[in-house]
Amino acid sequence: MSFRTSRWLRSLSARVVLLNTVITVGLSGLMILVLCWLAEGFMQDHLDDTVLDEIRILEAEFGVDGRRGVQQLISRRLAENADGRQAYLLLDADGRRLAGNLAAIPAKSPSRADWYEQPTLHQPVDASLRLRRLTLADDSTLVVGFDDHEITAFVDALQRAAGLGFAATLLLGLVAGALSSQLTLGHLDIINRTATRIIEGDLGHRVPLRGSNDEFDRLSATLNEMLDRIGELMESVKRATESIAHDLRTPLARMRNRIEVARFAAPVDPAGQQELLDALCQEVDRVLTVFASLLRLATIESGVLRSGFQRVDLRPLVDDAISLYEALASEREIGVSLTIAGAAADGCIVDGDRDLLFQAICNLLDNAVKFSPDGGDIGVELALADRVVRICIDDRGPGVPVEHRERVFDRLVRLDHSRASPGFGLGLSLVRAIARLHRGDCHLQDGAPGTRALLELPQAS
């Protein structure tokens, strides 16, 4: 078997089509066998009835015209049907032949009582005679029989037609199998070629779509979506790595400068040295804090924390977070007001991790307070609708331009207006990771003026 042939025979679709064909042929073969058997039985019964009817006619003739009448009827019948498919014999009481085309009384049938059998008188011989014998009132013997060639011919024709049908079905099955496997293999080859190009480094390559919307087109579209998603993830990992490298370079460079100064500063001034070490410690702490936050983010994004989820009421969490930030806010004359909307008054239960949810709310409040102008009020709203709990935090700060509203959720991203304020640009990344861990999400919107941070979480079932 050549490589190409064996390849299409090993293809799943070809095997399915072939199996289907074999089952169809098998089942219809069985059906035709049963049909033959039933038809044969029915035709044999009918032939037997014809023989019995004929013998009754001859018996009746005997009753009317005696043996001569029977002799004449037999002669007429044989003249009308000279092909040897009907057999007659009339013997007198002494066994002398008076009429008919049979030489002697045939042999008894081995399987059927009262019936006789012998090959047909037709030439060439192609069937057997089914005969009955009757002793008439004057002790003469009458034998009558018809041959069954019509039954054999019918069954033969049926079997031949079925055989041809099966051969055609098998052939069609093979052709259909070959075609379908070629189609399948063609599509798979395209996918395979795309995968090879991607492996070889052409990461932007995608599986071409034919627009037929068949299962292969849909599979290709899903694969392309998956590749796009992987591409986005790789891009975000790359961005994160770059920003980490960039962000750590500044404190590390500062630390290096300070160490350099300490190395060459002489004579050593104990107070100055203490100051230098304190500053170094602060820088190291900064770096350690960034690493701790990055590790925490990675843990949250891995989803492992879901196993510890419990039912958490968000209402007291929001209250606690507001109390925590109230002191800081009031120093800058910022008022924080809480509105509980509609069904939220009866409790906002979600499945989750209390500490993480508290941290998410705090991070959003922290930004609102941090970026609010002195005296600018902050509005917090807790609402429940369509089985989704919504926490909205509105501030009157500078707002986030629409083109940066997604970017600020990336790790270590801080906008220019925040350079002076403390932070590492990881707060919103954490909030989104926590929201997604709880199968919710977080977005920034235009607070007109200011920012509206929206945290949405599915209500516990």
Q: Enumerate binding residues for ligand ADP (CB under 6 A).
A: 363, 367-368, 371, 395, 397-400, 408, 413-415, 418, 423-429, 451
Which lies closer to ligand ADP via its Cβ, residue 146 or residue 371? 371
Of all residues in the shown chain, the one whose CB is closest to ligand ADP is: 423
Nearest-approach distance from CB 384 to ligand ADP, in angstroms: 23
Q: Which residue reads 């798979």 in tokens?
A: 188
Task: Look at residue 90 and give the partner it binds from Mg ion, ligand ADP, none, a contact being a CB closer than 5 to 8 Å depending on partner kind.
Answer: none
- Classified as helix, coil or strand, 265 is coil
Nearest-approach distance from CB 412 to ligand ADP, in angstroms: 8
451 binds Mg ion (CB under 5 A): no
213-232 residues in contact with Mg ion (CB under 5 A) are none
Of all residues in the shown chain, the one whose CB is closest to Mg ion is: 427
Which lies closer to Mg ion via its Cβ, residue 132 or residue 296? 296
Binding mask 409-428 for Mg ion (x = CB under 5 A): --------------x---x-
Phi, psi of 433 (to 5 degrees): -60, -40
Angle, helices 427-437/354-371, rounded to nearest 10 degrees: 150
Q: Distance between CA 366 and CA 426 in Å, rounded?
A: 12
* Chain-centroid distance, C-alpha 437: 27
Which lies closer to ligand ADP via its Cβ, residue 154 or residue 424? 424
Task: Look at residue 293 and give the partner it binds from ligand ADP, Mg ion, none, a contact being a CB closer than 5 to 8 Å depending on partner kind.
Answer: none
CA neighbor of 318 nearest in space, from 292, 337, 300, 302: 337
Phi, psi of 116 (to 5 degrees): -120, 160
Q: Among residues 71, 140, 367, 451, which is the contact residue for Mg ion, using CB under 5 A?
A: 367
Nearest-approach distance from CB 360 to ligand ADP, in angstroms: 11
Q: Distance between CA 67 and CA 98 in Å, rounded?
A: 9
Helices (H) and strands (E) in the chain, counts: 8, 13
Q: Which residue reads 């992987």 in tokens?
A: 230
Range in contact with Mg ion (rule: CB under 5 A) among 45-53, 156-164, 243-251, 362-370: 362-370
Question: Got the DSSP string for 81-119?
Answer: -TTSSEEEEEE-TTS-EEEES-SSPPEEPSSSTT-EEEE
Which lies closer to ligand ADP via its Cβ, residue 63 or residue 401? 401
Task: Look at residue 368 and give the partner it binds from Mg ion, ligand ADP, none, a contact being a CB closer than 5 to 8 Å depending on partner kind.
Answer: ligand ADP
Q: Are 393 and 321 in contact, with CB atoms under 8 Å apart?
A: no
Task: Report in angstroms the alpha-carbon separations of 204 from 197, 227, 271, 392.
Answer: 9, 9, 59, 39
Beta carbons within 8 Å of 26's beta carbon, 6+ residues apart: none
Task: Look at residue 116 and give the partner it binds from Mg ion, ligand ADP, none, a contact being a CB closer than 5 to 8 Å depending on partner kind.
Answer: none
Question: Where in 232-294 does DSSP place strands (E)?
Answer: none
Which lies closer to Mg ion via its Cβ, residue 398 or residue 423? 423
Task: Look at residue 400 and give the partner it binds from ligand ADP, Mg ion, none, a contact being a CB closer than 5 to 8 Å depending on partner kind.
Answer: ligand ADP
Nearest-approach distance from CB 184 to ligand ADP, in angstroms: 49
Which lies closer to Mg ion via its Cβ, residue 51 or residue 321? 321
Nearest-approach distance from CB 423 to Mg ion, in angstroms: 5
Q: Are 459 and 389 in contact, with CB atoms under 8 Å apart?
A: yes
N-terminal to C-terminal alpha carbon distance within the chain = 60
Which lies closer to ligand ADP via its Cβ, residue 248 or residue 415? 415
Nearest-approach distance from CB 406 to ligand ADP, in angstroms: 11
Which lies closer to ligand ADP via its Cβ, residue 129 or residue 442? 442
Per CB under 5 A, residues contacting Mg ion are 367, 423, 427
